[in-house]
């Protein structure tokens, strides 16, 4: 657990002044104006996070310094898909989660304005007209049971201003500014998350297009095999079981195609929601092209990429806000000084109210200090310290989680690259085996069960190849999100 910084020398001077002021109460008021810049509570310093000197799965690294305002670029452009690029650009304006985060950011800015308003005096005006009665102390029945009726008309202008003796206001502003910055990080994280989710979902949809295209081609091939088998059966050179097996194989592929269509519809609906549209009003045409190639991953990644992660910046700024709240809680142990002024006109009638004889004014300071509260202030301070410690743990967890995400996806990409090479070879072998088995069946040297097995193996191999390509693209997009955006503006990738 990190140790918060000690109170500043300014705070020590403030404390010494307060101890002296309690002994000499008369001197407290003029000296209060001198010490309006005193600020109690610990000054904020970002805590250290135990981070590795280098990625196990990549090159050199250093601990992150939040820099979420750095440009991320249109990182999705690396995939070279105009339709994908058009959809991603809609996210920042149309995604509903982004709109929620944007509204929360505006709310945080407004609350910062509320905190800053405490620096300024409060000025108000009032007008009142009252009619009152009080007893005269005699029992005079002719004068209305001994009561006296009076009228009072008043018009006044009032002002009050609290001196920021111990930095309560400045700490509140500090906390408000940090909270607003954290909300800005939340907004950036909402945009980045929605963009990455859309990219991942889009690739999954395109993978279903590829799978459906493969199944349609396979269904056509199975239909040809069934026709050949039926002809052979009618010619008396094939058994009825061969026809049934061919029909089963065809129907199974048709069922898989129906399932793929249902999956594609779900991905299409998810994309519609991501860009803020009803699923019934949105559709994406199927493509007949293969999945895009996975962009190359560099051997080394500069540290400033992770620094752009908005969730890290948001967690860091929440620590600053929580630290400032400790100062706010600390200031409750010291007196508050309020300067008040009031002036206006008061008379028993509205007529001739605004005349010099009816004028009144008042001005003076008010010093208030809580002497006994049953431990409430101490408990509030402990609560603020505990809240700060929680934000420190959250920040460290966020940073370590970011390292884990990068490590996971770097390792996954490397393994999938190797798996894709092996699967490509397996697919080629399965296609060759299927061709040989079909020729052997036509020659009568093997049973149709061998053909069924070869067809199933070939379909599974090609389907796995598409699945690996999809997983590589999704992992690549997840890596870009984990790094806070594209690295392509900073470094040149190593060619595959």
**Residue 104: which of 216, 187, 171 has the closest Cα?**
187
Residue 53: per-residue pLDDT: 46
| Beta carbons within 8 Å of 465's beta carbon, 6+ residues apart | 420, 423, 424, 427
Residue 84: per-residue pLDDT: 95
Q: Torsion over CA of 186, 117, 154 and 131, rounded to 10 degrees?
A: 30
| Distance, CA of 355 to CA of 464 (rounded, Å) | 94
Residue 14: per-residue pLDDT: 59
Residue 300: per-residue pLDDT: 61
| Distance, CA of 444 to CA of 438 (rounded, Å) | 10
Phi, psi of 258 (to 5 degrees): -65, -40
Helices (H), 332-486: 376-442, 448-482
**Residue that is written with structure tokens 């452009």 in the block:** 77
| Distance, CA of 13 to CA of 39 (rounded, Å) | 10
| Distance, CA of 59 to CA of 491 (rounded, Å) | 13
Q: Is the pTM of this model over 0.75?
A: yes
| Beta carbons within 8 Å of 128's beta carbon, 6+ residues apart | 152, 153, 154
**CA 251 to each of CA 36, 94, 229, 430, 437: distance values in angstroms, whole numbers, following the listed order:** 84, 42, 15, 21, 21
Delimit the domains of the chain by residue range.
9-123+162-482
* Per-position pLDDT tens, the chain of length 496: 334 444 444 444 455 544 554 444 444 445 444 445 577 777 777 776 655 544 444 444 444 455 555 555 788 999 999 999 999 999 989 999 999 999 999 999 999 999 999 999 999 999 888 888 776 555 554 445 567 888 888 888 999 999 988 889 999 999 999 999 999 999 999 999 999 999 999 999 999 999 999 999 999 999 999 999 999 999 998 899 999 999 999 999 999 999 999 999 999 999 999 999 999 999 999 988 889 999 887 666 665 667 778 999 999 999 999 999 999 999 999 999 999 999 988 887 777 777 888 788 899 999 999 999 899 999 999 999 999 999 999 999 998 898 899 889 999 999 999 999 999 999 999 999 999 999 999 888 999 999 999 999 999 999 999 999 999 999 999 999 998 876 655 444 433 3
Structure-token pair, residue 30: 């003029």
The architecture that CATH gives domain 9-123+162-482 is Up-down Bundle (1.20)
**Residue that is written with structure tokens 């670029």 in the block:** 73
């Amino acid at each position: 657990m990190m140790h918060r910084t000690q109170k500043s020398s300014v705070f020590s001077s403030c404390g010494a002044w307060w101890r002296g002021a309690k002994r000499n109460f008369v001197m407290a008021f003029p000296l209060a104006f001198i010490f309006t810049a005193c600020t109690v509570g610990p000054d904020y310093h970002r805590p250290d996070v135990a981070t590795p000197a280098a990625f196990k799965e990549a090159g050199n690294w250093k601990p992150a310094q939040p820099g979420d305002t750095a440009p991320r670029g249109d990182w999705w452009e690396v995939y070279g898909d105009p339709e994908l690029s058009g959809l991603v650009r809609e996210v920042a304006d149309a995604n509903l989660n982004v709109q929620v985060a944007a509204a929360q950011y505006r709310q945080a800015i407004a609350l910062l304005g509320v905190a800053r308003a405490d620096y300024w005096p409060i000025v108000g005006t009032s007008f009142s007209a009252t009619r009152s009665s009080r007893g005269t102390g005699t029992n005079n029945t002719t004068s209305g049971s001994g009561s006296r009726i009076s009228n009072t008309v008043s018009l006044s202008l009032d002002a009050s201003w609290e001196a920021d003796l111990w930095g309560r206001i400045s700490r509140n502003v500090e906390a408000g500014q940090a909270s607003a910055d954290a909300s800005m990080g939340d907004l950036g994280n909402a945009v980045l998350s929605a963009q990455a989710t859309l990219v991942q979902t889009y690739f999954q949809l395109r993978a279903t297009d590829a799978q459906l295209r493969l199944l349609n081609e396979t269904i056509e091939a199975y239909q040809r095999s069934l026709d050949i088998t039926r002809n052979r059966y009618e010619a008396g050179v094939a058994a009825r079981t061969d026809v049934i097996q061919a029909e089963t194989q065809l129907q199974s592929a048709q069922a898989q195609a129906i399932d793929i269509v249902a999956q594609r519809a779900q991905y299409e609906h998810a994309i519609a929601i991501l860009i803020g549209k009803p699923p019934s009003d949105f559709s994406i045409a199927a493509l007949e092209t293969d999945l895009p190639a996975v962009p190359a991953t560099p051997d080394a990644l500069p540290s400033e990429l992770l620094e752009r992660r908005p969730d890290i910046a948001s967690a860091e700024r929440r620590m600053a806000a929580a630290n400032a709240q400790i100062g706010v809680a600390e200031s409750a142990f010291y007196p508050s000084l309020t300067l008040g002024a009031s002036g206006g006109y008061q008379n028993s009638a509205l007529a001739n109210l605004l005349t010099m004889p009816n004028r009144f004014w008042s001005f003076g300071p008010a010093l208030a200090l809580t002497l006994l509260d049953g431990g409430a202030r101490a408990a509030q301070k402990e609560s603020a310290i505990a809240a700060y410690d929680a934000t420190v743990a959250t920040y460290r967890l966020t940073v370590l989680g970011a390292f884990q995400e990068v490590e996971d996806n770097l390792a996954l990409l490397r393994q999938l690259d190797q798996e894709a090479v092996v699967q490509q070879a397996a697919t080629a072998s399965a296609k060759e085996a299927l061709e040989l088995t079909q020729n052997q069946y036509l020659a009568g040297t093997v049973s149709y069960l061998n053909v069924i097995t070869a067809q199933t193996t070939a379909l599974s191999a090609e389907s796995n190849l598409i699945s690996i390509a999809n997983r590589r693209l999704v992992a690549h997009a997840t890596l870009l999100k984990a790094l806070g955006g594209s690295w392509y503006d900073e470094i040149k990738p190593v060619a595959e």
